[in-house]
Amino acid sequence: MLFLDEPTIGLDLVMQKKIREFLADYNQRHAATILLTSHYMDDVEALCGRVVVINQGRLVYDGRLDDLVRRHAGDKLLQVELDRPVARAELAAFGELADWQPHKVTLRVPRADVPERAARLLAALPVRDLAIQEPDVEDVIRALFIEGG
């Protein structure tokens, strides 16, 4: 069993990657259990299949990282690149504006509504590119802490 506390904090990007690669290889070769405590979500995403979230001594979540996002993030993000500027008011019909620039927009949309909203968006606006993404793990965990679990 290997215990690590913030193993890449303070390292440059190249060394962070090398440490992550070493740990993944070590885990695979030795079937070792690695207990990683970290606030650095890049480490968690790269190394952890299972996560445990503890808030003020209380277990908030124990399971797969991808399930954490699906269960606790009610929204997805639609990242839209437009051929022409579109006013904020026109975009509000498709979701909550998370970020707005005249040609590039990020909308927060309820997970269940994504297919319908994306289809409407593509039909109504001059969309050059559309990406549907999960919210950042960091944002999901932050919300868990704010909500108290």
Per residue in 85-132, pLDDT (tens digit) is 988 888 989 999 999 988 999 999 999 999 999 999 999 999 999 999
Per residue in 54-71, pLDDT (tens digit) is 888 889 889 998 888 888
Please give the full DSSP string across the chain, using - where no structure is assigned: -EEEESTTTT--HHHHHHHHHHHHHHHHHHT--EEEE-S-HHHHHHH-SEEEEEETTEEEEEEEHHHHHHHH--EEEEEEEESS---HHHHGGGSEEEEEETTEEEEEEEGGGHHHHHHHHHHHS-EEEEEEEPPPHHHHHHHHHHHT-
- Alpha-carbon gap, residue 60 to 128, rounded angstroms: 40
According to CATH, the superfamily of the domain at 2-70 is P-loop containing nucleotide triphosphate hydrolases (3.40.50.300)
Question: Which class is 74-133 in CATH?
Answer: alpha beta
Per residue in 131-145, pLDDT (tens digit) is 999 988 888 888 888
Q: Is the pTM of this model over 0.75?
A: no
Task: Spell out the domain ranges in the chain.
Answer: 2-70, 74-133
